[in-house]
Structure 1
Amino acid sequence: MNYKLVYVLIIWLCCQMRVVACQCPATGLSLAECNKYEVIFKGRIDSVRACHSNFGEAFFTVEELYKGNASRQFSVLFECNVPCALTFNAGEEWIIYSRYKQVANVMMDWCSRSRKYFKIAKEDFYTVNYGNDYEQEVSFLRENLKVHRPMSAKKNGAVNRNERPSSMQTIIILICSLLTIIIFYWLFNKYFKF
Structure 2
Amino acid sequence: MVVLNRIYTKTGDDGTTSLGSGERRPKYDLRISAYGTVDETNAAIGVVRLHLAGAREIDAMLARIQNDLFDLGADLAVPQRDGKAERLRMLASQVERLERDIDSLNEPLAPLTSFVLPGGTPGAAYLHLARTICRRAERIMVELAVNPEEPVSGAAIQYMNRLSDFLFVASRYLNDKGAGDVLWVPGQNR
Q: Above 0.5 in TM-score?
A: no
* More strand as a share of residues: 1
Greater Cα radius of gyration, structure 1 or 2:
1
* More helix as a share of residues: 2
Please give the range of the TM-score, normalised by the shorter of the 2 chains: under 0.3
